[in-house]
């Protein structure tokens, strides 16, 4: 069992180093300790995600961010707008998708971006969330922002059997 992390800069940096440890149990303990640190670990974890040299490094940083949950949502979305790296965005979207229901409305709001690729990653995160995203996406089919309306429709389409019936029902109204 991981010990409670204090959250000092030095301890967070040491935990970030453990995310790359060859021993998987050390990586798992580092994720648990970073989760226990919570919000103070978010910015360093986003930096670790951005600077990771391989998918393992990105994976463990994304898992830790997803386990921290709500405090990571806004900083991750902001970082995705600034960092256009495909791999960074892919893993950040996976983290947001794993955060789940609390990330739905911020993800949909962020779809108003002019950045088409970013919108695609946001849609992937919503698809990862799945069923809980259907009703909020359906609601946004009537949004004043045309880009959000289009993204909501496309995301519902991508959700397939989960999203299509809700979208079709909304279109009948």
- Has residue 77 been placed in a domain? no
DSSP 4: P
What is the predicted pLDDT for the residue at 35?
97
Is 89 a domain residue?
no
pLDDT digits (tens, 9 = 90+) for 125-138: 999 999 999 999 99
- E strand segments, the chain: none
What is the rounded distance in angstroms from the CA atom of residue 94 to the CA atom of residue 65? 10
Residues 62 and 115 in one domain: no
User: Is 169 a residue whose pLDDT tops 90?
Assistant: no
Q: Would 82 be classed as within a structural domain?
A: no
Choose the weakest-confidence range: 4-8, 59-63, 95-99: 4-8
Mean pLDDT (the chain) is 91
State percent of the chain over pLDDT 70: 90
* 104 and 172 inside one domain: yes
Q: What is the pLDDT of residue 160?
A: 83
Instruction: Give me the CATH number covering residue 142.
Output: 1.25.10
- At residue 172, the pLDDT reads 58
Is 2 in the same domain as 64? yes
**Would you say 126 and 155 are in contact if contact means Cβ atoms under 8 Å apart?**
yes
Same domain, 59 and 122: no
The reply to whether 123 and 165 lie within a common domain is: yes
- CA-to-CA distance for 13 and 30, rounded, in angstroms? 11
Provide the domain limits for residue 124. Answer: 100-173
Q: How many domains does the chain have?
A: 2
Please indicate, yes or no, whether residues 65 and 115 belong to a single structural domain of this protein.
Answer: no
pLDDT at 36 over 50: yes
Residues 114 and 51 in one domain: no
Model confidence band, residue 2 (pLDDT cutoffs 50, 70, 90): very low
């Amino acid at each position: 069992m991981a010990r409670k992390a204090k959250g000092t800069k030095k301890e967070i940096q040491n935990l970030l180093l453990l995310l790359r440890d060859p021993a998987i149990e050390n990586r798992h303990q580092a994720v648990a300790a970073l989760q226990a640190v919570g919000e103070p670990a978010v910015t360093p974890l986003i930096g670790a995600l951005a600077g990771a040299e391989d998918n393992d490094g990105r994976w463990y940083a994304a898992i830790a961010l997803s386990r921290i949950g709500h405090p990571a949502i806004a900083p991750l979305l902001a970082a995705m707008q600034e960092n256009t790296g495909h791999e960074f965005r892919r893993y950040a979207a996976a983290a947001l998708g794993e955060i789940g229901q609390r990330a739905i409305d911020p993800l949909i709001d962020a779809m108003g971006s002019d950045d088409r690729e970013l919108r695609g990653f946001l849609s992937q995160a919503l698809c990862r969330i799945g069923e809980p995203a259907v009703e909020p996406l359906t609601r946004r089919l009537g949004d004043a922002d045309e880009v959000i309306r289009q993204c909501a429709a496309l995301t519902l389409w991508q959700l397939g059997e989960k999203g299509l019936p809700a979208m079709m029902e909304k279109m009948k109204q």
